[in-house]
Amino acid sequence: EVQLVQSGAEVKKPGESLKISCKGSGYSFPHYWVAWVRQMPGKGLELMGIMFPDDSDTRYSPSFQGQITISADKSNGTAYLQWISLKASDTAIYYCARLSVVRGFLLDFWGQGTQVTVSS
């Protein structure tokens, strides 16, 4: 069974750093792209970027380029999303999802989401 399990909720202050995780299981983690998707409070879905764990090929949506870092440790099947200096506007739910290119560029399995709250 394919599963993506994300790390727990975080409460941070502006200017702090943060790294959240997404552990994949039930499939060959290195060989599927992982996507990170932001959902701000009461809003829709925004793609932040994607990474192919096997070779660390990473692509960022222009809106998020320079604001975040996506990485992965293929040896333990985990992807990461990182901020160096959080802002209040980073408050959102962050989802990871598996991107299946072979079947047609679909986000077929999703993590449960990580709530990030940034407040002074």
Residues of span 81-120 touching other proteins by CB under 8 A: 95, 97, 99, 103-113
Residue with tokens 């983690």: 29
For residues 11 and 106, which CB has a smaller minimum distance to other proteins in the complex?
106
Distance CA 25, CA 15 (A): 33
For residues 22 and 75, which CB has a smaller minimum distance to other proteins in the complex?
22
Please name the residues in contact with 28: beta carbons below 8 A apart, sequence gap of 6 or more.
Answer: none
Residues of span 41-70 touching other proteins by CB under 8 A: 44-47, 50, 59, 61-63
Total interface residues for other proteins by CB under 8 A: 25
As measured in angstroms, the least distance from the Cβ of 120 to other proteins is 27
As measured in angstroms, the least distance from the Cβ of 48 to other proteins is 9
Distance CA 17, CA 29 (A): 26
> How many helices, marked H, and strands, marked E, lie in the chain?
0, 11
Residue with tokens 């941070």: 12
Query: Binding residues for other proteins, per CB under 8 A?
Result: 35, 37, 44-47, 50, 59, 61-63, 95, 97, 99, 103-113
